[in-house]
Amino acid sequence: MNQDLFQSGIEVDEYVRTISNYRSFVRGLMNEPEPNDSHVADFRSLTESLDAPLRATIMTEDWCGDSACTLPVLARFFAELGIELRILRGSEHSDLREYYERDGVDHIPVISVWDGRFAEVVRWVECPKSIEARKDAWKAERPDFEPLYERQKSDPAAAKEFAALYRTLMDAMAGWYRDGGWDDVTAEIVAALRGRLDR
């Protein structure tokens, strides 16, 4: 990461205004989450000795359901902390995508916080463990999900069926995030930061 790459990222308002997938879904969630005050305080305390200014990035694509559901709380969390946030599409920034892939990261969104020298101080990927477990259970109850996902790449009828099923999953995910998932996002980010600084 560097200043030029960071500045090439998209600010949250512009991203929400210009996404082509799930725009109304994301807009509907943006003002819902209230960042957990203790997570904000813990993050601020843990980073007070780091080189300023801190900056945050989200590498994602706008078709990603977890991105759609986590962006609202991430935007509010980093705004509360006074940390500038940029969103970068991995498909448009191959160097950043490859940076994560070298560490074995193959899911999105990838959230990173960088210090004043653009050293990465924390990384968090995809979704909280609580949401991952719920997604796995949801998919296990729908054995057609994975086959449809594979077929939709070349079968228009399967693509339409998969899109409807995936939207059902996203609606379920929105409920899970409201039901504690947003708190879990910021709790895991704080825990990841604490773990890295304790090394």
Are 12 and 71 a contacting pair, CB within 8 Å? yes
Asked whether the predicted pLDDT for residue 173 surpasses 80, the reply is yes
Checking DSSP bridges between strand 110-114 and strand 120-125, what pairing results, if any?
A: antiparallel
- Tokens (6 digits) for 16: 């929400």
The whole-number pLDDT of residue 153 equals 85
pLDDT tens-digit series, residues 42-79: 999 999 999 999 999 999 999 999 999 999 999 999 99
pLDDT above 70 covers a percentage of the chain that reads 100
pLDDT tens-digit series, residues 9-42: 999 999 999 999 999 999 999 999 999 999 999 9
CATH number of 3-127+180-197: 3.40.30.10
11 in helix, strand or coil?
A: coil
**What mean pLDDT is predicted for residues 129-154?**
94
Asked whether the predicted pLDDT for residue 199 surpasses 80, the reply is no
What span, in angstroms and rounded, lies between the C-alpha atoms of 151 and 38?
45
Closest CA to 19 of 73, 76, 71: 71
Which amino acid is present at 129? K
Q: Which helix (H) or strand (E) holds 136?
A: helix 129-140
Asked whether the predicted pLDDT for residue 84 surpasses 90, the reply is yes
The whole-number pLDDT of residue 196 equals 87
Average pLDDT, the chain: 96
pLDDT tier, 183 (very low <50, low <70, confident <90, very high otherwise): very high
